[in-house]
Amino acid sequence: MSTPIHQKLAKVLRNLPNLWQGYNIYVNRDKLRLIELTFQELQPAARSFADLGGVWKVNGAYSMHAAKLFPVEKGWIVDTDFPAEVLEQLRHYSAIEPIQDDFSKKDVVDRIGNVDVVFLFDVLLHQANPDWDEILERYAARCSCFVIYNQQYVQGPEPLRLTDLPYEEYVAIASDHADELIRQVYGHREEIHPVYQKPWKDIHNITQWGITDEALRAAMARLGYREAYFKKFGMFVGLPAFEEHAFVFVRR
């Protein structure tokens, strides 16, 4: 069986071609191909997108990839932190507008308005207050297609709110890193975070939810979407309770 170290090394080697495209090794090539599939085959008339949470570690690469390859007229990239070098890179893409804010806020949803495609890469499991399904509902009223790549919970039939668990259970299921931050969250659960203005137990910097495929599919069906694409990419590094799954949902 592969160890987490071997898995991480394999991922780095697989992502080395990113360097020739101007991206770093954290950019997931499966997500690049997912964007290409969406714009080429599943939504070829798409001319706009919103990349929600698309900065951390990948520096806006997915937004830039879409804008470089396809006739995008407008793109938004939303995240709570934009390093100066990322903003400098984005200036070369006139169609992309950065929004430094929490993409779950209603005023951010309103600012983006109607959009053809929404990217949600590695972010749904971090969303609480509002929860992941509430965010899908907020954007569904304005979006034709959701492209989702998420670490899905595979060790139970129901979604699991992880920060409701005792600390030891949380760490055993959901974390092989960031122990100091998790201790901070558990030590100040109900206190209001000074930046995000919500309880520490709800901040997006840690994993908040174990989302099952069944729960995600049911939520999207309720919102009026059909599943146009699905693929599994194996266990999330170091966390056997989670697998990386990709979905494309298109409005019916």
Instruction: Spell out the SS3 assignment of the chain.
Output: CCCHHHHHHHHHHHCHHHHHHCCCCCCCHHHHHHHHHHHHHHCCCCCEEEEECCCCCCCCHHHHHHHHHCCCCEEEEEECCCCHHHHHHHCCCCCEEEEECCCCCHHHHHHHCCEEEEEEECCHHHCCCCCHHHHHHHHHCCEEEEEEEEEEECCCCCCEEHHHCCHHHHHHHHCCCCHHHHHHHHHCCCCECCCCCCEHHHCCCCCCEECCHHHHHHHHHHCCEEEEEEEEEEEECCEEEEEEEEEEEEEC
207-232 mean pLDDT: 98
148-156 mean pLDDT: 97
User: In the structure, what pLDDT confidence band is assigned to residue 8 with cuts at 50, 70 and 90?
Assistant: low
| Tokens (6 digits) for 217 | 């599919």
228-243 mean pLDDT: 94
pLDDT, tens digit (0-9, with 9 covering 90-100), for 45-61: 999 999 999 999 999 99
Q: What is the pLDDT of residue 179?
A: 82
Contact 35, 119 (CB under 8 A): yes
Q: What is the pLDDT of residue 28?
A: 95
| Tokens (6 digits) for 201 | 């137990």
User: In the structure, what pLDDT confidence band is assigned to residue 4 with cuts at 50, 70 and 90?
Assistant: low
pLDDT, tens digit (0-9, with 9 covering 90-100), for 87-142: 999 999 999 999 999 999 999 999 999 999 999 999 999 999 999 999 999 999 99
Separation CA 11–CA 2 (nearest Å): 12
Domains, the chain, with CATH or none:
4-159+212-251 (3.40.50.150), 161-210 (no CATH)
| Tokens (6 digits) for 208 | 């908040």
Is residue 130 reached through a cis peptide bond, with omega within 30 degrees of 0 on the bond before it?
A: yes
60-73 mean pLDDT: 97
User: In the structure, what pLDDT confidence band is assigned to residue 1 with cuts at 50, 70 and 90?
Assistant: very low
- State the chain's mean pLDDT as an integer: 93
Tell me the pairing of strands 48-52 and 74-79: parallel
Element at 39 (helix H, strand E): none
**Tokens 């840690």 belong to residue:** 206
pLDDT, tens digit (0-9, with 9 covering 90-100), for 11-40: 666 777 777 788 888 999 999 999 999 999
Q: What is the pLDDT of residue 14?
A: 73
218-246 mean pLDDT: 96
Examine the pLDDT at 6 and tell me if it is beyond 80. no
Indicate the SS3 state at residue 199: strand
